[in-house]
Structure 1
Amino acid sequence: MPETVPQAMACPLCGGVAGLFCEDRMRRYFACTDCALVSADPAAHLSPQDERAIYDLHRNTPEDAGYRAFLSRLAGPLREHLQPGMQGLDFGCGPGPVLSLLLRDAGLAMADYDPFYAPDATLLGRQYDVVTCTEVVEHFRDPLAGWAQLAALVRPGGWLGVMTQLAPDTPERFLRWRYRDDRTHLSFHRLPTLQWLARRFGFSLTQVEPRVFLLLRC
């Protein structure tokens, strides 16, 4: 018998109905009617080992001027709200932490956490004045748990800085979107998704530019 293609699943973020949005040769994608998150089919998720192998190919270093400029798109606007001596955490820093270096230059005391490259879980047991999360939320296998963890790290009055590309609204544009081609990208956010998250976790949201967002913990 031919395979039955699932037409819907429970949204992994809000629990609403996520209908089949589109599919390519590798994966199916489901879009939630409530929070607007687009999710890759969990059946197509890579193993942690295969995911790590892709991350190991990244060559982002402090000496890379282009990468520093890329991260400055978040660091610059964020620094306008921070004071020297504040405590910060770069969540998902990757194999070559760079953003924390930029913020240390502004006088912040920064720590680095990454589940693969800097897995010091003790850093996750406290709160910070600022938490940065650049090109990370799209990798969340369980986006509700991931965002809940991020929110818990930010003390009241603190800042969460996020960088991620917003997903196109139509299947046709989504299938032409190169961000989708990275198989470690699993959770694709839209602006209504981030607005839903801000309400859910008690933040006020500011979009600084198309892929840069600042969230103030209320």
Structure 2
Amino acid sequence: MSCPLCGKTHPWLYAHLSKGDYFLCGDCRLVWLDPRHWLSPKEEGAQYTTHCNDPEDARYRAFLSRLSEPMQSRLSAGARGLDYGCGPGPTLSRMLEEKGFPTRDYDPVFFPDKGILAQEYDFITCSETAEHFHAPGAEFERLNALLRPGGWLGVMTEFRPADAHFLRWHYRRDPTHICFYSPDTMAWIARHHGWRLEIPVKNVALFHKGQV
């Protein structure tokens, strides 16, 4: 088995459960669920339809503002972006557009327009999505290709807690959550792509792609 983020082989067994083992990469520090216990695409899609993402929900907007506010404070006027993995009720894109930043939506299940992935963007948001990636290494390569030089990528996902708390962690129990990141993992991603990393608030990583 190899790490789905960095490709290193021979990961460490991190946690053992009857519903599946979790592995830890010694290089990038990603933790992931044994692929043999991932949901099927049909099961995964059905699980996503249970999510209630209402653009008018003030509490949901407040949650997303943890990413939108630090992101928009770093953008130039009129910057154009992409919300990658927007889910069934695009909200983050609407919030950014309200602040003057036109933002397109892409989601492989709900908004699977591949033409959107043939363009480049000044910024990309990826909220509560990276934990679902089956191949995070390939996904971050794609995000790098979509992002213009000088652009920003914002990723929001719950960072993995201390080892002793992992098995009790509520985030792990969502059957569609298969990859878990820590600040060390985010630092590895930044180094690998030559990005600068900022963590403005807990569970939010902002990556700046330098100019060519």
TM-score range, shorter chain: over 0.9
Equivalence for 2:64: 71
Q: Establish whether residue 84 from structure 1 lines up as the match of residue 77 from structure 2.
A: yes
Q: State yes or no: 1:103 paired with 2:82.
A: no
Q: 2:143 aligns with which of 144, 150, 154?
A: 150
**Cα offset for 1:86?**
1.3
Structure 1, unaligned runs of 5 or more: 1-8
Q: Specify which of 187, 203, 207 is matched with residue 195 of structure 2.
A: 203
Aligned to 2:27: 34
Supply the AA of the counterpart residue of 1:194: M
Match of 2:48 among 48, 51, 55: 55
Q: 2:175, 2:208 → 1: CA distance? A: 31
Matching of residues 110-149 of structure 1 within 5 Å: 110-149=103-142
The aligned counterpart of 1:189 is 181
Runs of 4 or more above 6 Å deviation: none
Give 1:25 deviation, angstroms.
3.0
Superposition deviation, residue 83 in structure 1 = 2.7
Residue by residue over 1:142-176, the C-alpha shift from the partner in whole angstroms, topping out at 9 and shown as x without a partner, is 11111111111111100001101111241x31101
- State the TM-score, normalizing by the size of structure 1: 0.93
Q: How far 1:131 moved relative to its partner?
A: 0.3
What is the aligned residue count?
209
1:84-130 CA distance string (max 9 Å, x none): 32110000000000000110011111110000000000111111001
Taking only the aligned residue pairs, the percentage that are identical comes to 48
CA distance in 2, matches of 1:24, 1:122: 41
Contact 1:22–1:29 (CA<8 Å) still a contact in 2?
A: yes
Higher strand share: 1
Residue 14 (structure 1) shift = 1.2
Letter matched to residue 136 of structure 1:
T
CA distance in 1, matches of 2:55, 2:7: 40
SS at 2:104's partner residue?
strand
- Give the letter for the 1:91 counterpart: Y
Secondary structure, counterpart of 1:30 in structure 2: strand
- 1:12 and 2:4 aligned: yes
**TM-score under structure 2 length normalisation:** 0.96
Could you say what secondary structure the match of 2:200 adopts?
strand
In structure 2, distance between residues paired with 1:134 and 1:61:
15
Residue equivalent to 2:160? 167
Q: CA deviation at 1:68?
A: 0.5
- What is the alpha-carbon root mean square deviation over aligned residues? 1.0
Which residue of structure 2 lines up, in the alignment, with residue 213 of structure 1? Answer: 205
What amino acid does structure 2 have at the position aligned with 1:31? L
Show the counterpart of 2:169. 177
1:137 and 1:63 mapped to 2: Cα distance?
A: 24
Once the 2 structures are TM-superposed, how far is the Cα of residue 190 of structure 1 from its aligned partner?
A: 1.1
